[in-house]
Structure 1
Amino acid sequence: MKTSLLAIALTAALGSAQAHNAWLLPSTTVLSKGDIVTIDAAVSNDLFVANHNALRLDGLQITAPDGSALKPESEAKLKQRNVFDVNVAQPGTYRIAVLNNGVFASWKDKATGQQKRARGTAETIGKEIPADAQEVAITQSMGRIETFITVGKPSPLKPIGQGLELISTGAPTDLVKGEKSTFTIHLDGQPAKDLDVTVTAGNTQYRDKLEDVKIKTDSKGQFSVTWPTAGMYWLDVNMRDNKTSVPQAKERRLSYAATLEVMP
């Protein structure tokens, strides 16, 4: 697919387009040797500017190149962002991800007629809903927010096989200005066709328009991006289906977001 980020997305209402974005922002994504990388985690109005809320790190997973799990270091929990360090000592590619999987419920209160909402897990959501609740709707959610760091030579990333995920033809940290990168979106381990992928460069607070671009995946779940400038980019995919793993849920909402660094 011949799509360039030079295309400008025409947005009728910029405010509505700038919905809150959840992201992980590494201080760097490519190192020649082991070091400490600092990660900011936030939900913001402007991309990569911590000006709304801190991103909760309950579902944080740091996976080393050998598949082992690492713990964050030097954690700081702030009002508008959370910060932590990752000790990237091994050569290869690291995956830093926050998983947001749960269940949402909405219903009408019988006594007042007011709309009520609650969130929880498949095991706990039933306790939140009154026995006389009306018009009950339960939705399963599966979200992944991630970024990647490579020390030395990139190493292959093991597919997750659940929900939405990004599969890179090359290394997700080997992105260069002016070059084309090809990716595949998987849904539950299979290529996902006809999905809208949004790619947005950072520093949105300094632009009158978002200048994001939407690229649709092809029949093989693939899409390509030619990077116009160096910098940090945010890649976002959202969809819905009815393939829930929670018996009481009728709908599944899936989301994926990745922070990618493009080199000069």
Structure 2
Amino acid sequence: MKKPLALFAAPILGVLAMLALPMSAEAHRAWLAPTSTVLSGTEAWVGFDAGMSNGVFIADHAAMNLSGLVITAPDGSTVAPENLHRARYRSSFDAHLTRPGTYRVANVMGGVIVSYKQGGETKRWRGAEADMAASIPADATEVVATSSASRIETFVTLGAPSLTALTPTGEGIELVPVSHPNDLVAGEAATFKLVRDGQPAASLEVTIARGGARYRDNPEEITVTTGVDGAFTVTWPEPGMYWMNASVRGEASGDRMAYSAQYNGVVEVLP
């Protein structure tokens, strides 16, 4: 059964906040934090924690579902995570780095979220856009859908930095390095670009927060806006682990359904 796209005309309320809603100071922030970001030698192990919380890197709300976890090696191949574990407030895993260069560690989720009524009961379906029409019952009413894309990532480098693993996939919001994400120093400016579906993401508000807020009266967040080329620049005030977030959403128009996309990145700034 094929439904006209006009039926999929409004964003769903009450679905996963990390996929469908812009971040705010009150929203739960998704983060993926490594134990180290710059390592030497011919091989190394790095541990990762992943969770969602009010304050970044504070495991106090929910563990992250890592079903979309992809570790991209410096040569573009994938690395299997090891020692995966999901606790109450955080998920964790290890990565064995055996090739020199930069690794991209990302939890990527996407697809379509559909809400509809059948027999007076509200139901939801989530899956690939290609499966949407065949998966919604013929007698469904009040059908609304949102296309969503979420990327939560961090970067680690063994030896000299490289760029192959950082090549954009063309899906959702992605970070394109101008400054390398594993070559950041306190007091120095760094520039990155954001792209959405491979195109420059202009006029996006980027929130940048440093870890350790639990021990500070002021969260010391930084807010910048991308230019027409998707670029933004930040001067790191202190060493530490930093979280970056940008999100976009749009209403349905023409033959395009409503959409939401979100990016959450973590980088380490060294002294």
TM-score band, normalised by the shorter chain?
0.7 to 0.9
Shift in Å at residue 110 of structure 1?
5.5
Question: Does structure 2 retain, via aligned residues, the 8 Å contact 1:32–1:152?
Answer: yes
Query: 2:269 corresponds to which residue?
Result: 262
> Runs of 5+ in structure 1 lacking a partner?
1-15
Q: What is the one-letter code of the residue matched to 1:70? A: V
Q: Deviations over 1:83-125 (max 9, x none)?
A: 111011211100000011121122356536xx55443333555
> How many angstroms apart in 1 are the aligned matches of 2:230 and 2:32?
24
Q: TM-score, normalised by structure 1?
A: 0.85
The alignment status of 1:97 with 2:111, answered yes or no, reads no
Q: Deviations over 1:26-51 (max 9, x none)?
A: 00100112210001111122210111
Question: Does structure 2 retain, via aligned residues, the 8 Å contact 1:140–1:249?
Answer: no
Q: Among all aligned residue pairs of Structure 1 and Structure 2, give the percentage whose two residues are the same amino acid.
A: 45
> How many angstroms apart in 2 are the aligned matches of 1:226 and 1:122?
40
Query: 2:53 corresponds to which residue?
Result: 44
Aligned length: 245
The alignment status of 1:164 with 2:166, answered yes or no, reads no
The alignment status of 1:84 with 2:84, answered yes or no, reads no
Question: Does structure 2 retain, via aligned residues, the 8 Å contact 1:195–1:237?
Answer: yes
Equivalent of 1:252, from 237, 240, 259? Answer: 259
Shift in Å at residue 209 of structure 1?
4.0
The alignment status of 1:138 with 2:145, answered yes or no, reads yes
> How many angstroms apart in 2 are the aligned matches of 1:221 and 1:250?
23
Alignment map for 1:25-36 (pairs within 5 Å): 25-33=33-41, 34-36=43-45
Instruction: List structure 1 segments (4+ residues) > 6 angstroms apart after TM superposition.
Output: none
The alignment status of 1:60 with 2:38, answered yes or no, reads no
Shift in Å at residue 240 of structure 1?
1.9
Query: 2:187 corresponds to which residue?
Result: 178
> How many angstroms apart in 1 are the aligned matches of 2:91 and 2:131?
27
> How many angstroms apart in 2 are the aligned matches of 1:184 and 1:110?
47
> How many angstroms apart in 2 are the aligned matches of 1:127 and 1:50?
39
The alignment status of 1:120 with 2:133, answered yes or no, reads no
Question: Does structure 2 retain, via aligned residues, the 8 Å contact 1:138–1:249?
Answer: no
> Runs of 5+ in structure 2 lacking a partner?
1-23
> How many angstroms apart in 2 are the aligned matches of 1:148 and 1:243?
34
Q: Deviations over 1:108-155 (max 9, x none)?
A: 56536xx55443333555577554443221111011110000111100
Residue 125 to residue 78, structure 1, CA distance change in 2 (3 Å): farther
Alignment map for 1:143-222 (pairs within 5 Å): 143-156=150-163, 157-222=166-231
Q: TM-score, normalised by structure 2?
A: 0.83
Question: What CA RMSD, in Å, does the superposition of the two structures yield over aligned residues?
Answer: 2.3
Query: 1:231 corresponds to which residue?
Result: 240
Residue 81 to residue 136, structure 1, CA distance change in 2 (3 Å): same
> How many angstroms apart in 1 are the aligned matches of 2:217 and 2:125?
36
The alignment status of 1:23 with 2:31, answered yes or no, reads yes
> How many angstroms apart in 2 are the aligned matches of 1:254 and 1:68?
26
Q: What is the one-letter code of the residue matched to 1:261? A: E
> How many angstroms apart in 1 are the aligned matches of 2:54 and 2:203?
28
